[in-house]
Structure 1
């Protein structure tokens, strides 16, 4: 219990520091969307802090995997955001506050919320660091495979979309090829699978299995809250997207349905 308290306090402090620094950078740049780059990195920081509390094969493996996931995500978002303006999602949030109070409003509604979300979602990492140092078993092996599936969906889906957008012939078209023919959000599905894999690796150490709400919360936000649903509220207005929705699974990959007859 003492090691868990140390891990959880350090994790909460780490999330607060990372998001606090990010808020200052966002204020300097005039872009709240810089928080999207920090989202993956805050988990990386928490994961390595946890290895200081509970050294051993499990916390170390989790830290390495989180670094692979969070580093790739931060690099991808930074590359995509170069030269772009504020994200429409954050513009909509900030529009609810008067101009002179926008930064304080963003701190409360974006940076504090994301710091707390990162703290809660990272609970499997914290509990695994506080547990015993038993060897990795077959459940961890399954978790590793699930993690690989998730990171594969994210990386391949993002690459396919980037190539599609880079082709001038695809301007105004809807991406419905490759993984995007099986799910409308392969990157969000991959994100969820990553955290189910990390939870499985952690769950071999009691009571980490009780932190199952962590991947559940992550999946909920990705599929139904701030992720896919929010994006589709805008995408559904584009020509061809409603038809794409009819033939393609929203989140979990499924074989594409036949195109409706014209």
Structure 2
């Protein structure tokens, strides 16, 4: 159906959501600097992405044709993902110290840390806006009846949440054992990927691609959904995920982590490699 009687345009919605994200991440910066716990940044970012996605899915737009049920389903998927990840990070931050990734950046940036963190978080706000486009594209798919792609998208997100939850649980149990204090977690999913939680976080964004894509060409906007997994991969693998965390792990675990790097893929799930300890050279896959 075509929504009528609303003056909100896509451009207006996009700009409004972008401004809100910038303001939210500015507040996250202030909280991180004041508290000394930069982990709050990721919790706030997770909630912000969910809120932006819900707005992009549900705000009626002038002249846009859309399904009566798909926007609600997509908004629920975004909310469930956001709440699970956000509350997990909240619990971790409340009971722990500074996030090791941001502690690594704090050491690298020195006295310039506050300024550079602010700019870094504005980049994160921009990335969140681009991620919300994936949710937008899925929600605005105009096919009235739910299709196989919709159910596939739901299944993908459920699998991603379960996989990420399992990875988090396995890591938490490993850390609870005092005997593992100086060891590198390589049990369960952590023997298939050095960052299985990141892999499943990325995998969940394929849900919106499955819902949005229309291979007949009737809905060109569907291809915009690819922005979600593309930018999430960029963030996790090249920006705020793997690089600072692995730099920290190399400092704290040294050769043990280098051997782990040589055996186990950085991101993609796969079997570990049988490499004798003396030949481990810290190769990153």
Q: State if a TM-score over 0.5 links the two structures.
A: yes
Name the structure 1 match of 2:281: none
8 Å Cα contact 1:4-1:126 kept in structure 2? no
**Deviations 1:107-164 (CA, angstroms, capped at 9, x unpaired):** 2232x11111100111122234455262221122222222222212210000010011
> In 2, distance between residues paired with 1:147 and 1:175?
25
Between 72-81 and 205-214, report the one with greater CA deviation: 205-214
Between 177-186 and 145-154, report the one with greater CA deviation: 145-154
Between 242-251 and 199-208, report the one with greater CA deviation: 199-208
- Please state how far the C-alpha of 1:24 moved relative to its aligned partner: 3.5
Local SS of the residue matching 2:84: helix
- Please state how far the C-alpha of 1:57 moved relative to its aligned partner: 2.1
8 Å Cα contact 1:4-1:129 kept in structure 2? no
Q: What TM-score do the two structures reach when normalised by structure 1?
A: 0.85
8 Å Cα contact 1:124-1:203 kept in structure 2? no
**Unpaired segments ≥5 residues, structure 1:** none
- Please state how far the C-alpha of 1:83 moved relative to its aligned partner: 4.4
8 Å Cα contact 1:146-1:194 kept in structure 2? yes
Between 183-192 and 42-51, report the one with greater CA deviation: 42-51
Local SS of the residue matching 1:122: helix
Residue in structure 2 matching 1:79, options 91, 102, 105: 91
- Please state how far the C-alpha of 1:174 moved relative to its aligned partner: 1.5
**Deviations 1:176-225 (CA, angstroms, capped at 9, x unpaired):** 11111111111000011011222322334541213413311211221233
Name the structure 2 match of 1:48: 54
> In 2, distance between residues paired with 1:93 and 1:201?
37
> In 1, distance between residues paired with 2:271 and 2:205?
24
Local SS of the residue matching 2:205: helix
- Please state how far the C-alpha of 1:53 moved relative to its aligned partner: 2.5
Q: How does 1:59-98 map to 2 (within 5 A)?
A: 59-94=71-106
Residue in structure 1 matching 2:179, options 165, 169, 182: 169
**Unpaired segments ≥5 residues, structure 2:** 1-6, 62-66, 279-285
Local SS of the residue matching 1:49: helix
Residue in structure 1 matching 2:242, options 228, 239, 250: 228
Structure of higher CA gyration radius: 2
Matching of residue 20 in structure 1 with residue 31 in structure 2 = no
Q: What TM-score do the two structures reach when normalised by structure 2?
A: 0.79
